[in-house]
Structure 1
Amino acid sequence: MSNDKTVKLLLIEDDEDDYTLALDYLNEMLEFDFEITWLSDFDEIIHTLEQTTFDLCLLDHHLGAYTGLSVLKAAKEMGNSTSFIMLTGLADEVLDKQALELGAEDFLVKSEINSVRFIRAIRYALSRKELTNERLERLRVEADNRAKDRFLAHLSHELRTPLTSIMGYTDLLLSRKELDNIKPELTIINNNSLHLLNLLNDVLDLSKIKANTLSLSKEWLSLNSFLVDLQSLFQMAARKKNLCFSITARGPLPDKIYNDTTRMRQVLTNFIYNAIKFTDEGSIKVELELKHTQLHVYIKDTGIGIPPENLKRIFKPFEQVQNTTTKTNEGAGLGLAISSALIELLGGGLTVESALGQGSLFSFYVDILNEHTSPSEIQLVPLNLRQAPSEVEQMPLPQLGGHVLVVEDIPEIRFLISDLIEKTGVTVTAVNNGKQAVDTLSLNQHIDLAFMDLHMPQMDGHEAIVAIRKQGIEIPVVALTAAAQKGNKETLKALGFNDCLTKPIDVAKLNATLTYHLGSQNQDEHSETFKKSHNSSAKRILLVEDDNDARELMTLLLSSLDANVCSAHNIESSLNVYADQAPFDLVLLDLTLPDGSGFDAVTKIQALNPHQDIVIVSGSDPDPQKLATANIDKVLLKPVSLPDLQALIESL
């Protein structure tokens, strides 16, 4: 229906007296406002029903050469959802049955038009129409939600995979001392990548909260260490704005609390980050207090404040109060909405006090005990934030051995590549062109790997690789090219190159290539050498990842942790590697692969070894039911960091 009382009604009647009579009784139904369309010509009726759906149609059975049944049949075939009530001069059980079978809501004799039955039939038909519309709308919303969930899961995977490479390689570059002069720029890249990741996480969390699928993982955590990390995180951010930042306690605090560490950190980070963002001078103070079995937290700032009329809005998704107070801050407007919902899930409550220009006070509480712990068991200690937070381990350069030939005609690039390679401990011989490369490799059988430019005088890289392979020289040769066109790598491999790097040279990819060819001796093509040379005390890991950049990065990260890594890009190749080089201490398995789901690979690997330790790597949270069925209890969510992998290897 158009609104609560308006009803679009089609009256199909070829007798004007019957039309006038029906119109009189319809007008007596004051609870409805009927918008009536009167038609009697069959072709015009069919054309109108093709163009319009009505709330109700009163349909006369006799229409000249046609019948009302013909109209019902046509409406049914065209999928028109109008509700029909058939009207006829005499009662007829056969006609009644036929009308109902063709979708009519009711069948009335015209003499009943002036009766209560006529009014009741209209009311029931409209009620059923409304219920049907509500059901269809509910189904549509449910379908939209399922489509949205599928889209968010796909979006998560597609965004997390490139973020893995962006953040991982930036971390690697930040760890290199020779790049100190560009670390401010690298830090900007890293910070913006983290911001993008946080926005992605916020959107996904909000979706889970709305769908009631967000689960908590509660554990005992050291409150003091937790607060030390928070202080370290935000002191620098506050200092950049010349703000005072402090964390204090109103008395002793529990040594440990039972809660979800990740979600607690997320809530406090959102509140403190907002306080710093909207404060230009003064201070941000975080105070904690124990009340019975609840931890109360207060975050007070001297910032711009919030107008009273906007206090309720700030906890709604995508609402930003700065639209009415300042245009200088950015964000998706999700942080406070998510924090509010998380605090409820954590068993607590939230309040806010604020006035425009006078700062804000956010306060919340959470439960700190599980059902098996009594308040008398809580050990209280004074807050001590002087201890140094644990430092993030800097990843070292790969330490390799071997002899590499660099073939490059431009002196500056030749020197740069040689210098980068030598820093890994590798011996380098450099030549100017392809002819010198062929001659050097013909005389020196102790070179383990070559990097060769494609465009050089005398003999270019294409000619040189053909000449090298004709002599039976099988060492790995990596092409250096400024061209990154699709299919270029396949063409180079057909000529005899093993791999290619695109200019300008990505230092992390160069190190990954060195590690792949020299650290593990090219596991896919030289497995026997790998088996003889690998460190027997190191963990052996099979990495299955279809994204080339992510696979190279994770190989480099795992190798830096003294792991021996074999890699594969799909299920078929992973099974071949597994059959050839097992046993493995661990299989790291991407969930989305070109030839099937990671769960398919789990089934096939477990068929070869039921006790194999397998960890799923995914861009979105896998289905818990599928994890349970596959007997998988470990998941790494992309982007995967060095600390993630280190903790994983240490747990083996």
Structure 2
Amino acid sequence: MSNLKPAIGSQRVLLLLPTAKDAEITVRLFDENGFESHICHNLDELCEEVHLGAGAVVIAEERLLDDADGLVERMLREQAAWSDLPVIILTLPSEINLRALDGWHQSANVTLVRRPLQIALFLSVIRSRLSDRLRQYTVRDLVETLDKRGREFRQLADSMPQMVFAADRRGRLEYLNHRASAYLGVSLEEARRLQWTEAIHPDDADDAQAKWRRSIDGGVTFQCEVRVRDVRTNRYRWHLARALPIYDETGVIARWFGTGTDIHQQKLTEQKLSAALERAAAAGAAKSEFVANMSHEIRTPMTSILGYAELLEEKEQDPEKLQFLSIIRQNGAFLLEIINDILDLSKIEAGKLEITPERFELATFVHEIHSLMQVRAAESGVRFGVEFEGPVPETLRSDPKRLRQVLVNLVGNALKFTKDGAVRLVVSHRGNQVVFDVIDTGIGMTEEQVAQLFQPFHQADASVTRRFGGTGLGLAISHRLALMLGGEISVVSEAGAGSTFTLKLDAGPSPMRSAIPGPTDNGDQPSVRLKKACRLLVVDDRRDIRFLAGRILSGAGAEVEYAENGYEAVQLVESQLATQTQPDLVLLDMQMPTMDGYQAAAELRSMGYKKPIIALTADAMQGDMDRCLSSGCNAYLSKPIETEKMLRMINEHLSPNGNA
């Protein structure tokens, strides 16, 4: 049988992955592990390459679900009788489409592998499926000449480490190789008189019988992972049982040819990996909960620190004391930046940070960055300017909030590390990309420092942390956000000669604009006051927060009532509804003992309170408003409370067009 050779390409892995970058990484991984691979760019090319010969197909879930014409399904259905091409589907972390993908198990040799990939397990699956595919080609050659070369077939089968069997069209055994006979402890004659399910673990028998019936009824390949009893040890070991239907010249199933491959160690490894993944998921959930709680526990007292510092500034005339209060507020704001960085990194790692693209005016957006960072530049004594290099698109489709976060971080870093000179934000259009260059004349970096720049919690060296502070998270977050926005960040730097950080984003279709107006100075915004004769209810379990909010609101012209928790607020409003004296608006903390804000908002709505409810939350892990809105709130404010922002939001909801 040494002249039996697999067809050309029978061990080739075809790849149809989300991006060219994914395909490049996978090909390199396969090359390192001795796998032959070929990159396909679309479904048509994939199907064509399968006909040329393939050992397995690796396809991303989103590419498979885009197959509206059913090309892959039709290709698999039209395979030769001997062929059962392994298809490995790389699923997304979400379980939304698992039910749809699970249907493939009934009609194809499909293995689902979750992303992000566990490399060792992924390579093990590929190796196993290629081995299985090689046996299919061997089986093909054997089956085609079975009548003429029966003796050679039995010799080959008896030399195989797998259990090998042949059965008639109804599944009655016609042949067992030596391995099967020895493992099961029966001769062929004895096996013919027994039910084959007697050798299978009772917990696996029903599933195996159901799949076997479907295979007989549908004439499709039988495949099932079952535990089979070894009579020599009286113990069960996991096997992959497979049987291929063999058709006669009229197209009717004449017999079945099958194998049982010992996969016990692989199965145990998978179970261990699965348990490890479950533990990791539990640890990740615990981490997310801890970060959310940490956010609340830090943001709530920071509300008091910054708020009371602001109140003191309004009453203080002594320049030295005003300087001290300014330092308190600046360092409080710095601490909040660190908290936000940690929360953002946690959300990115947990896959909970969402990108919400929208179209916005590019020039206006850039000038807002200039206005925002000009204050920080003035404090640092560094010149900061914005330049437009040539025509740029009028609009850009991206997530402005996250893009602003990236650019503010890059400009802020440049200002922090520039003692003398200037920082420039240069916007240009190159090819089909909008390019943002942040150029500084600061301390610069060595090649070694640049290579480690985008790692979390890492700065150039320990002296940088001592001299300039920071956690080293900002650039790591900016790098990941840039990728999520469909762009990339690169850096060119020289120690002692400054740095240039470059952010590139796809521009998309948009008219070009040559004349870019300069930034406008709107001057100081006037202090916000509330509508006259408005009554507000502040609900918070922290006395200092209630007092702070009350001072701000009463100073803006409101009459203020207080409640210490959700239950007390519900009781108060219920009594006021009876006399039509309910508050015009409720400021409601969401994390309180006795009854939290979510329950309180729902109760207030159920009893008929229809006026605005604004949530006060320190839970930045849930910043998408969904939970607040679904409980009955109209809007939400994150702690620490920003006075002007709070007063403007209240005015909006008390306006004639609002809900009050």
State the TM-score, normalized to the length of structure 2: 0.56
* Deviations 1:474-529, CA, capped at 9 Å, x for gaps: xxxxxxxxxxxxxxxxxxxxxxxxxxxxxxxxxxxxxxxxxxxxxxxxxxxxxxxx
Q: What secondary structure, in the 3-state scheme, does the structure 2 residue paired with 1:542 have?
A: strand
Q: What does the per-residue CA deviation read over 1:382-401, in whole Å, with 9 as the maximum and x for residues that have no partner?
A: 2313x3244255689xxxxx
1:574 to 569, 576, 580: 569
Query: Which 10-residue stretch deviates more, 560-569 or 542-551?
Result: 560-569
One-letter amino acid of the counterpart of residue 544, structure 2: D
SS of the residue 2:351 aligns to: coil
- Kindly provide the CA deviation profile for residues 368-427 of structure 1, in whole angstroms up to 9, marking residues without a partner as x: 77xxxx624x66642313x3244255689xxxxxxxxxxxxxxxxxxxxxxxxxxxxxxx
Judge conservation of contact 2:539–2:565 (CA < 8 Å) in 1.
yes
C-alpha separation in 2, matches of 1:177 and 1:111? 87
The answer on 1:546 being equivalent to 2:538 is no
Distance 1:241 1:598, change over 3 A: closer
Alignment counterpart, residue 311 of structure 1, candidates 445, 450, 470: 450
1:132-171 superposed matches below 5 A: 132-171=271-310
Indicate conservation of the 8 Å contact 2:489/2:502, yes or no. yes
CA gap 1:230/1:99 in 2 versus in 1, 3 angstroms: closer
Rounded to whole Å, the distance in 2 between the matches of 1:112 and 1:593 is 60
| Contact 2:625–2:635, Cα closer than 8 Å, also in 1 | no
Q: Aligned partners of 1:587, 1:299: CA distance in 2, in Å?
A: 44
CA 255–631 in structure 1, closer or farther in 2 if over 3 Å, else same: farther
Instruction: Give the Cα–Cα distance (whole angstroms) in 2 for the partners of residues 616 and 198 of structure 1.
Output: 22
In structure 1, the partner of 2:24 is none
CA separation in 1, counterparts of 2:319 and 2:359?
40
What are the equivalent positions in structure 2 for 1:407-422 lying under 5 Å apart?
Answer: none
- Cα distance change of structure 1 residues 647 and 347 upon mapping to structure 2, 3 Å threshold: farther
Q: Which one of the candidate residues 563, 573, 578 is aligned to 2:558?
A: 563
Matches for 1:598-613 after TM superposition, within 5 Å: 598-609=597-608, 611-613=610-612
640 and 294 in structure 1: CA distance in 2 versus 1, 3 angstrom threshold? farther
Structure 2 unaligned residues grouped into runs of 5+? 1-182, 188-193, 205-225, 240-258, 654-660
What residue number does 1:250 align with? 389
Between the aligned partners of 2:199 and 2:394, the Cα distance in structure 1 is: 78
Q: 1-side partners of 2:432 and 2:589: how far apart?
A: 42
How far, CA to CA, are the matches of 2:378 and 2:645 in structure 1? 29
CA distance in 1, matches of 2:455, 2:554: 45
In structure 2, C-alpha distance between the alignment counterparts of 1:365 and 1:278, rounded to whole Å: 22
C-alpha separation in 1, matches of 2:559 and 2:299 = 25
Per the alignment, residue 642 of structure 2 pairs with 641
CA offset at residue 172 of structure 1? Answer: 1.9
SS at match of 1:205: helix
CA deviation string 1:143-170 (max 9, x = no partner): 0111111111111111110010111111
Residues 270 and 339, structure 1, Cα contact 8 Å, conserved in 2: yes
For 2:467, the aligned partner's letter is T
1:591-621 C-alpha deviation (Å, 9 max, x unpaired): 1111122111111100122533222111114
CA RMSD of aligned residues (A): 4.0
Q: Name the counterpart of 2:422.
A: 283
Which of 518, 521, 532 in structure 2 is aligned with 1:388? 521
- C-alpha contact (below 8 Å) 1:303/1:358 kept by paired residues: yes
SS at structure 2 position matched to 1:593:
coil
Is contact 1:322-1:329 (8 Å) kept? no
The share of aligned pairs that are identical, in percent, is: 29
With CA pairs under 8 Å and 6+ residues apart, which has the higher RCO, 1 or 2?
1
Aligned position for 1:595: 594
What is the correspondence of 1:179-578 to structure 2 with a 5 Å cutoff?
179-217=318-356, 226-235=365-374, 237-239=376-378, 241-251=380-390, 259-290=398-429, 294-323=433-462, 327-366=466-505, 375-376=510-511, 381-385=515-519, 387-391=520-524, 393=526, 537-578=532-573
CA contact (8 A) 1:545 1:568 kept: yes
Gaps in structure 1 of 5+ consecutive residues: 1-86, 397-534
**In the alignment, is the contact (CA less than 8 A) between 1:301 and 1:360 conserved in 2?**
yes
Point out the structure with max Rg over C-alpha. Answer: 1
Structure-1 residue corresponding to 2:652: 651
CA 1:380 to 1:566, structure 2 compared with 1: closer, same or farther past 3 Å?
Answer: farther
Give the Å deviation of 1:553.
0.7
What is the SS of the residue equivalent to 2:469?
coil
The CA distance in 1 between the partners of 2:556 and 2:550, in whole Å, is 10
The one-letter code matched in structure 2 to 1:650 is: N
- Aligned partners of 1:340 and 1:350 also within 8 Å: yes
Give the corresponding residue for 1:615: 614
For 1:358, what is the secondary structure of its paired residue?
coil
Structure 1: distance between partners of 2:396 and 2:316: 40
Deviations 1:30-76 (A, max 9, x none): xxxxxxxxxxxxxxxxxxxxxxxxxxxxxxxxxxxxxxxxxxxxxxx
State the distance in 2 between where 1:569 and 1:192 align: 30
Give 1:647's aligned amino acid.
Answer: R
Contact 1:253-1:383 within 8 A present in 2 as well? no
Alignment of 1:84-123 (within 5 A): 107-110=229-232
Q: Contact between 2:296 and 2:618, CA under 8 Å: does it hold in 1?
A: yes
2:444 partner SS: coil
SS in 1 for 2:401: helix
C-alpha contact 1:252 1:383 (8 A) present in aligned 2:
no
Contact 2:566/2:592, CA 8 A, preserved across alignment: yes
- Alpha-carbon deviation of 1:267? 1.4
- Distance in 2 (CA, whole Å) between partners of 1:319 and 1:362 is 17
Flag the 1:230–1:613 CA change in 2: closer, same or farther, 3 A: same
Helix, strand or coil at the partner of 1:645 = helix
Q: Give the aligned residue type for 1:645.
A: M
